[in-house]
Structure 1
């Protein structure tokens, strides 16, 4: 089977720091290669892969501001479509834009919907609903207006996340610095329980950071920036718990799974996919507000860090994700 994987070009595949869609595209690509699938990855020219790499945009547009995103997105996607007949299936990890080419090619396309940035993009998905195939990344992140071939949870390379059976002495916030992700809420929880809080992630909303995060920074509440993979492993594995006080319906949440892989339990607001990932009392707690999250911090003592990791091994491994996508490919091609 010949598979084309379309990865975004906002960041390198895999990303140096931030880039969840590029992370998943990379994990899938490398996993498929291990399964002896003939894979071509369409990504930025500086991407790293054991598959065949094709690129039209040499650097990520988020790292090189001289690159016009719209121009190079169009060139990137057209590069795939103009070579579509070389492949048995095209796997789109680049949102709705590649769908607009799908009626012009014969090669079947499957699109992993990594989340809906806005209801305004739904018309594109609706137009191609009957002629392409959609995979959701959680049951919660499905639109009633669309049909889906399957839900496939993201998987991670568990070997990259060291297990630490010892509880740390700080709470952790790991994710975009944005009101959606609840940075301010995590700070309030840490203040209530009088524990140290480490904040790590990309500042996506500068004004939010300056108004709701920066004023609270001190010796106990620290912002360490956007961390690279080795630093990420350390900060995740040495935490007491991850605080995921989200204010939106999280489609999946890679940082939640990555924390649990290190043995770190997660306290999360019960929005979006969180009830599908977190089992109360086993690998963390689902809560409703800041006060309840603060109350549950002490209960983390009773959670087995070993069980947190076992949950990820069983449900969210790279191998499991790859196996399920191969089944999806076969189902589509056999039609």
Structure 2
């Protein structure tokens, strides 16, 4: 089968790149399984295992679909997608606040994410763990970490800092943020127990995760999935977060603690050594790998290739969130 993967981004990813990392690993796994992959992505991309077609910004995306592909997998919602002449599906990666109905062939990235739009079709993200270094379980773990775009207030880096500052002596390393931020609401952090590393990637990020006691992740929105969660688990880090979005699906009692109360997470962080790093690692390795994700998508591909729709009714946002931020106290 020849599969076109479409996303408005440049690949491969260097630093953060959540969706870019997912589509790269998906394309690689499809190739390993004997399929041909074409990426329709932004100019400047490179890839050694698949054909690349650069997006022409002067044309609609659907006008740029090659004639010889069997199926198109969009990773955003293109204009006039219903006019696509090839079988297709769309993965919705984000929380899209809209009153418009979604395409019948929409797939979400967690059960909760799908349910928000009145759907039940989802595929968990998975990563190619062979691209990561093996965790060193003999290494001393000296800090906790936050991982994500800290400038997004829904990610609640303030809450993560608050949790750590209420412990007796724990330290936090913020991966994805800076100490002084006035862009997304004033944040001035002077605590010597909190350090900032900006948008780190590659081996530097892996070293920081491998030295961490756990991920502090008190998000204040319905997290669609959260690659930060599975990357942290892979390196043996339990997760201390809020019970929103996909977190309760991924973070069961063996792998962390979820609460929207600061004091609950403070207590959990201070007893983080009760979690088994090797068990966290094995969980991420077996449940959230790119092969498992790819096989799930192949099941969806077969469905649309046979002329069926992914959903029986068009997904639509069930309830607009009344508050911008979910409860944190």
2:53 is the counterpart of 1:54: yes
Mapping for residues 168-187 of structure 1, pairs under 5 Å: 168-177=141-150, 178-187=152-161
Structure 1: 5+ residue runs without aligned partners? 58-71
Q: Give the C-alpha shift of residue 210 in structure 1.
A: 6.7
Structure 1 runs (4+) greater than 6 angstroms displaced: none
Counterpart contact for 1:28–1:321, Cα < 8 Å = yes
Q: Give the C-alpha shift of residue 313 in structure 1.
A: 1.7
Q: Structure 2 vs 1, CA of residues 274 and 84 (structure 1 numbering), >3 Å: closer, same or farther?
A: same
Which secondary structure state, in structure 1, belongs to the residue aligned with residue 240 of structure 2?
A: strand
- Of stretches 152-161 and 182-191 in structure 1, the one that deviates more from structure 2 is 152-161
2:238 is the counterpart of 1:265: yes
Which secondary structure state, in structure 2, belongs to the residue aligned with residue 4 of structure 1?
A: strand
Match of 1:88 in 2: 70
Q: Give the C-alpha shift of residue 290 in structure 1.
A: 1.3
Match of 1:153 in 2: 124
Report 1 or 2 for greater relative contact order, CA contacts < 8 Å, sequence distance ≥ 6. Answer: 2
Q: Give the C-alpha shift of residue 145 in structure 1.
A: 5.0
2:279 is the counterpart of 1:307: yes
Match of 2:82 in 1: 103
Q: Distance in 2 between matches of 1:107 and 1:233?
A: 40
TM-score of the superposed pair, with normalisation by structure 1: 0.84
Match of 1:240 in 2: 213
Match of 2:42 in 1: 44
Query: Which structure carries more helix by proportion?
Result: 1
Mapping for residues 120-139 of structure 1, pairs under 5 Å: 120=98, 122-125=99-102, 128-129=103-104, 133-139=105-111
Match of 2:201 in 1: 228
Which secondary structure state, in structure 2, belongs to the residue aligned with residue 85 of structure 1?
A: coil
Counterpart contact for 2:8–2:41, Cα < 8 Å = yes
Q: Distance in 2 between matches of 1:56 and 1:226?
A: 26
Counterpart contact for 2:2–2:71, Cα < 8 Å = yes
Q: Distance in 2 between matches of 1:52 and 1:227?
A: 28
Q: Distance in 2 between matches of 1:292 and 1:24?
A: 33
The alignment yields a C-alpha RMSD, in angstroms, of 2.1
Q: Give the C-alpha shift of residue 249 in structure 1.
A: 0.6
